[in-house]
Amino acid sequence: MLKSDWSDTRAEAAEALGKLSDSKSVESLHGSLNDKYSWVREATVWALGVIGDERSVEYLLKSTFDDKPLVRRAAAESLGAIRDAQSVDRLISLLSDQDYEIREAAAWALGEIGESRAKMELSKLRFDGRKEVRETAQISLNKLI
């Protein structure tokens, strides 16, 4: 179903595999990260985060550079769910993304990972123009103290 001609079917298949949370499906899902439709990539990124397999970190890091904000946000959230420290530097860089939802997701993810080197960058978000970002950054900072 991940290879269906229908993009909606591919997205639904990725979501179903995520709900099954079976690490055997990780390799198949990695291929869907290159789908031409952003909703398929977003569903795939979400599924990989739910599965939580560290083999996906490299692929999710690449997805943080996607041209679609929803995919970047899902990638940040998935990296936080996996809690792999190798993603900290990229998540810190996402704290300055133009899209506030990506900044918020990156702040949340850094709190989940728990690396103290994110403290200074998270503290800068106290002055962010969006309340959601400020609140999430504070929650994450509290986890790092």
Domain boundaries in the chain? 83-145
Tokens 């702040």 — which residue? 107
pLDDT for residue 135: 98
Residues 140, 110 contacting (CB under 8 angstroms):
yes
Tokens of 89: 């530097």
User: pLDDT tens-digit profile of 1-12?
Assistant: 888 889 999 999
Residue 62 has pLDDT above 90, yes or no: yes
CA 87 to chain centre: 10
**Distances in Å between the alpha carbon of 17 and those of 23, 70, 85?**
9, 20, 25
Block residue for tokens 């990539």: 41
Report the pLDDT averaged over residues 16-30.
Answer: 91
SS3 62: helix
Q: How confident is the model at residue 60 (pLDDT cuts 50, 70, 90)?
A: very high
Residue 1's pLDDT is 82
CB-count exposure of residue 63 (10 Å: 0-12, 13-18, 19+): buried
What is the residue-wise DSSP string for 23-56? GGGHHHHHHHTT-SSHHHHHHHHHHHHHHT-GGG
The domain made up of 83-145 has a fold known as: Leucine-rich Repeat Variant (1.25.10)
Give the tens place of pLDDT for each residue, 78-127.
999 999 999 999 999 999 999 999 999 999 999 999 999 999 999 999 99
Percentage of residues of the chain with pLDDT beyond 70: 100
Full-model pTM: 0.93
Tell me which amino acid residue 64 is. T
Give the separation between CA 122 and CA 21, rounded to whole angstroms.
Answer: 31
**pLDDT on residue 115:** 92
What integer pLDDT is reported at residue 5 of this predicted model? 87
Write the single-letter amino acid at 123: S
